[in-house]
Structure 1
């Protein structure tokens, strides 16, 4: 239940709906019990043993409300029988019963109606909170998580919380009230018989509890497996071209089917126990009814008993009234056990620690004036250091290129300066200010990022270029596109800047997507540019167009370029050659060529010597 309790704070904004639900459920429970009690005088009339009360009953407090209601009803029946005959009394009881059933059902509807807004509001808020938390978590969190699993937690797990938790709220409020009021009425009819029932009911509870012990464990496995096959589906959709190209469809199908078969087994295990809850509780209730019929029948037939036949049949009716609430509570107990597994998975995200957060007194930095400095930094993703005691200074307005073999730490520096990751040792300074002492938002506002993979969204061209911009100025979007050499192809699109480019920009070529990414960075107009292998995935023609766009973009800006194609960095103010996280050479293009060292080897391998 601890996960159930942690979900409860999401209910607080909707407490007025909860209050309405409780009020209407209280009324429902009252009318539900009264609708059964009203039959007792009716049975008395039919049996010819109606209990006659000639003195109008007096109110003696809430503790004796059941006797007061029963005696008031009997007093009214006595008046009708004596003054107008038994048939008129029968008509009165029928009309009263009809009214009570109407009030019972209308209050039940109003209780459920008020819960609609609470349920849907809580589900919306949980889903929004999970999404917002996902956007704030560091990249390191996602390197250890599967996309499909995160999607499952945001969709199917939240749905399970709605079905398992929120749908049981009504049962938790309404059914215990019905049981309490019914038991009070049963005690008023026969204390001895009710005490006998109290001995029988716990036995049913113990049996039901024993069946549900393994339900949460099976539910957790089923929900986890949902994340697995959604991850496989996401991978398949992303890599469908490769799967087809390598004739690997059957392997993918087999992997997916193994996961869905596991889910099939786990789900069967869960549902077998869940489906057992209702028939088991009903059968146990029937056994209890038979025992009560035997025991109560003996009391009615006994000479010394004051239990009348109509009271006994009314008592049986009241006991049947307990069966459905008891069944609903046992089903709710099962549902909560099942929902706990999903709530746990949701809370794993909501309670995940974010090590990259703003310091308590973090400052807003709005301008970059002098120098970026990497000062004796060391960093590791897991166990082995990728950068070791690395130092580098980048004056304002300079273009610095980082080159080296794969795994030398180039892209890591781009991730560190933007605080996608934090250094393990040392510090990164902007104008002698540690970036950990600057708010993440203001730090990233100083930077434009263009990566090797053009990350675009299923939206219009204009919205993709204006990503993160509060007020979109169409003229500035067009100006940024022209600088990025993108305007020419954009105006040829069906709806120009309003054209939707599809999922991941799949309606565009690689070069077009990259130029949109550059236009996005240009529109932001930051003083610092971080280019992470921005041309490595392009063909020669596209590379030339993108390179010209980059050169225009980098004018009057400080740029850090992670380069794979060395032909793109010959004009850099400084080229830094990395190997295994350390600087092995540094200088201009011509200087490094003359040394005939590590840089010369890289250039020779790429055959770009002029």
Structure 2
């Protein structure tokens, strides 16, 4: 949806966020009114000083008026301080609230949303776009309102002082307003392009930095640099367009202001030289100040309106995400208990894309306490089963039950609390090992973590690291090997004490030593709980209670290892023979 400079609906929605800060909001308006009055009074006082005291050489009166001018300036400065400080403070508090709301909203999205939306775009929306909303209040709305009030008060006083001189100003103002309006329209289009290019730039940089290993492994530095230059060039052109419009508008505004001042001086000077009492030297002096106070704000309103447009465009993008309803429907009312661990898939159909099923009506029965293994070629649907059990995605049809209850009846949080997953690609946060294990859960003590680590055999490895459990693994756990990250993931799953454990390719791409530790960890954490193991390497699942063989979204075979290898020509037997023949060679 295209953002409008004065989208009333959008503007009202932004203003709703000011309700918790109504006192401050009203305070900013109050000081804006004070500013407009004090600013307009200064030239009026100056006129009285020149006409009543300087010209007649009244020293005492002059001192009195200068004192009055000083008091007015002090009050104006105090009002300016509170106006600017409170307006910026209000903007930052609103940004804080919107950012909190947005991040909480993003946390509830389905995995499908993150499959389709670039990470860099979400970062742009959550950081720079939301920050731009603050400028609606700090640089846009209140500043424009203050300037408009200041101009209105100035015009009223000017007409009261001398309507003839004021008429010259009134003639010039529509011309400046006309050019200002053209400038605003051009800037709106330019700023929309700027925000688009910023999002593209952030997305590109985010993806390339995250995938830097691939970029360097495949010697794509030059190619990616050329792509970056092209995107950066578009970003540069978008900003240059805004610079061009500014470069055209502000000289035009200066010319109109200067010509108006020249006509005021010419007309007023002729009247004074001709001895007219209608125009005085004090009025001429005051009018030179009034013209600056009228035309400079009008000029600056265009610039502040740009800030307003940037904020409105950014707000529109942010609210697009806030209005996105792509969450898993958490309509369950039952708090999941400690599961026994019976799992049933009944005629389950699912596809990531409409009309392209990945799971094609499978039936699967897992008994409490069993360890079952799921094997099959890449794309067979193994990991999809895990995603569906955790309700990362909604099934198209069929039912999934745990302990004879549809998983949709459980609250989402309590369901996932009873299921732990260890993935092949372990994600660790830039934090300590201890915090990565507990995920900052206050219910898990250090003593529990140490006891669990000793039980599954990873305590020795952690103690060998600098700072032990307080070792900072850095972003994505780059300070650890893939095998070490896997061990941390096993410990993380174990200390959460789940009813159901899922190991998704958890033993692939690791060294022999780490594999031995992981095998020991696997035996410990799967004992006494329902476990689902997905593996390409069949040697890791030979002891499973049941092996489920999948192919193209269907379960084609089920049974123990011994039962399946005895099926001549069976899918599992062929897979087993090919692996072990390859290993022997």
The reply to whether TM is greater than 0.5 is: yes
Q: Distance in 2 between matches of 1:424 and 1:301?
A: 90
Q: 1:174 to 1:301 in 2, by over 3 A?
A: same
User: Structure 1 residues 165 and 106, CA, compared in 2 at 3 Å: closer, same or farther?
Assistant: closer
Distance 1:552 1:265, change over 3 A: same
1:472 to 444, 447, 451: 444
Q: Does 1:604 align with 2:577?
A: yes
Alignment of 1:10 onto 2:17: yes
1:29–1:177 Cα contact (<8 Å) kept: yes
Pick from 380, 393, 398 the counterpart of residue 370 of structure 2: 398
1:281 maps to 253
Residue ranges of structure 2 left out of the alignment (5+ in a row): 1-5
CA distance in 2, matches of 1:8, 1:604: 68
* Residue aligning to 1:374: 345
C-alpha displacement of 1:305: 7.5
Matched, 1:127 2:99: yes
Matches of 1:199 and 1:482 in 2, distance apart? 86
CA–CA distance in 2 between the matches of 1:493 and 1:108?
Answer: 56
Q: Which residue of 2 aligns with 1:586?
A: 558
- On the 8 A contact 1:483/1:519 being kept in 2, the answer is no
Cα deviation digits, residues 163-191 of structure 1 (max 9, x gap): 45532233133212211211221221234
Q: CA deviation at 1:523?
A: 0.3
Q: Distance in 2 between matches of 1:489 and 1:554?
A: 21
Asked if 1:258 is matched to 2:230, the reply is yes
Question: For 1:167 and 1:538, how far apart are their aligned partners in 2?
Answer: 55
Structure 1 residue 277: Cα displacement: 4.7
Give the superposition deviation at 1:601.
1.3
User: Relative to 1, partners in 2 of residues 1:301 and 1:205: Cα closer, same or farther, differing over 3 Å?
Assistant: same
Q: Is 2:327 aligned against 1:344?
A: no
Structure-2 separation of matches of 1:311 and 1:442 = 77
1:180 is aligned to 2:187: no
User: How many residues get paired?
Assistant: 574
Q: 1:39 aligns with which of 28, 32, 46?
A: 46
Mean CA deviation greater in 163-172 or 391-400? 163-172
The 1:273–1:401 alpha-carbon spacing in structure 2 relative to 1, beyond 3 Å, is same
Give the C-alpha shift of residue 586 in structure 1: 0.9
Say which is worse superposed, 346-355 or 445-454, in terms of deviation: 346-355
Contact 2:119–2:206, Cα closer than 8 Å, also in 1 = yes
State how far apart, in whole Å, the 2-side matches of 1:211 and 1:321 are. Answer: 21
Q: Which of residues 98, 104, 110 is equivalent to 2:82?
A: 110
- CA distance in 1: counterparts of 2:18 and 2:449, whole angstroms: 43
Q: 1:508: how far off?
A: 1.3
Matches within 5 A, 1:506-521: 506-521=478-493
Residues 84 and 138 of structure 2 are in contact (CA less than 8 Å); yes or no, is this contact kept in structure 1? no
Matches of 1:354 and 1:604, distance apart in 2 = 44
CA separation of 1:486 and 1:191: change in aligned 2, threshold 3 A: same
Q: Deviations over 1:492-532 (max 9, x none)?
A: 11111111112111111111110110100100001011211
Q: Tell me by how many angstroms 1:310 deviates.
A: 2.9
Secondary structure at the counterpart of residue 213 of structure 1: helix
Q: TM-score, normalised by structure 1?
A: 0.88
Q: 1:536 aligns with which of 502, 508, 515?
A: 508
Structure 1 unaligned blocks of 5 or more: 51-84
TM-score by length of 2: 0.92
Does the Cα contact within 8 Å between 1:376 and 1:390 map onto a contact in 2?
Answer: yes
Question: Structure 1 residues 186-195 or 105-114, which shifts more?
Answer: 186-195
User: Structure 2 vs 1, CA of residues 173 and 208 (structure 1 numbering), >3 Å: closer, same or farther?
Assistant: closer
SS of the aligned residue for 2:329 comes to coil
Structure 1 residues 320-329 or 156-165, which shifts more? Answer: 156-165
Partner of 1:337, secondary structure, is helix
Change (3 A) 1:543 1:423: same
CA distance in 1, matches of 2:254, 2:103: 42
Residues 37-96 of structure 1: CA deviation (Å, up to 9, x unaligned):
101122213675x8xxxxxxxxxxxxxxxxxxxxxxxxxxxxxxxxxx722112222222
- Given that 2:429 and 2:477 are in contact with CA atoms closer than 8 Å, whether structure 1 keeps it comes out as yes
Q: Secondary structure at the match of 1:595?
A: coil
Q: For residues 555-566 of structure 1, what are the structure 2 equivalents within 5 Å?
A: 555-566=527-538
Partner of 1:241: 213
SS of structure 2 residue aligned to 1:583: strand
- Superposed displacement of residue 249, structure 1: 1.4
On the 8 A contact 1:182/1:318 being kept in 2, the answer is: yes
Q: Any conservation in 2 of the 1:480–1:520 contact (CA below 8 Å)?
A: no
Give the stretch that moved more between structures: 203-212 or 151-160: 151-160
Mapping of 1:160-175 within 5 angstroms?
160-163=132-135, 165-175=137-147
The question of whether the paired residues in 2 share the 8 Å contact of 1:399 and 1:560 is answered with yes
Find 2:334's aligned residue among 363, 366, 372. 363
Specify whether residues 275 and 530 from structure 1 end up closer, same or farther in structure 2 by C-alpha distance, changes over 3 A only. Answer: farther
CA distance in 2, matches of 1:550, 1:277: 70
Deviation at 1:219, TM superposition (A): 2.1
CA distance in 1, matches of 2:290, 2:438: 67
Note the C-alpha offset of 1:195. 4.9
Q: Distance in 2 between matches of 1:588 and 1:251?
A: 50
* TM superposition shift of 1:316: 4.1
In 1: Cα distance, 2:255 partner to 2:111 partner: 54
Q: After the TM superposition, which of the residue ranges 575-584 and 479-488 deviates more from structure 2?
A: 479-488
Provide the rounded CA distance (Å) in 2 between the counterparts of 1:366 and 1:275: 67
Deviation, structure 1 residue 463:
0.7
Residue matched to 2:325: 353
Measure how far apart 1:456 and its partner are.
0.9
State which structure, 1 or 2, has the greater radius of gyration over its C-alpha atoms: 1
Separation in 2, partners of 1:273, 1:401: 65
Distance 1:389 1:265, change over 3 A: same
The match for 2:120 among 122, 134, 148 is 148
CA distance in 2, matches of 1:105, 1:522: 63
d(CA) in 2 for partners of 1:178, 1:603: 84
Deviation at 1:476, TM superposition (A): 0.8
Are the equivalent residues in 1 in contact too, given 2:88–2:134 (CA < 8 A)?
no
Measured in 2, the distance between the counterparts of 1:302 and 1:364 equals 93
| Offset, 1:556 | 0.8
Shift of 1:350: 1.9
* Counterpart pick for 1:524 among 496, 514, 517: 496
Aligned residues of 1:274 and 1:334 also touching (Cα < 8 A): no
The structural deviation recorded for 1:299 is 6.5
Separation (CA, whole Å) in 2 of partners of 1:205 and 1:433:
68
